[in-house]
Amino acid sequence: MTNQEIKEIMRKSRFFDYEIAAAIGISEYTFCKWFRRDLTEEQQGRILTAISTLKAGEKHEN
């Protein structure tokens, strides 16, 4: 996946960068720096897992 595709998934998830970064366990600053270069497969996986985790938590709150 490209960085742009990951950003589109993030946008559609409606979570803020800082929320995704916190779920990954890194600072928002570090998270933003990741996007300066092509994301590694590991980074992509961590982002997608964080979004899934946040969505799962969101469902429990309703």
Instruction: Specify the pTM.
Output: 0.88
Distance CA 32, CA 2 (A): 15
Would you list the domain boundaries of the chain? 3-61
Distance CA 43, CA 62 (A): 29
Report the Cα 21 to chain-centroid distance in Å: 6
User: What is the model's pLDDT at position 59?
Assistant: 55
User: What is the model's pLDDT at position 60?
Assistant: 44
Q: Per-residue pLDDT for the chain (62 aa), expressed as one digit of tens each?
A: 999 999 999 999 999 999 999 999 999 999 999 999 999 999 999 999 999 999 998 754 44
Closest to 12 in 3D by CA, of 62, 47, 57, 61: 47
User: What is the model's pLDDT at position 57?
Assistant: 87
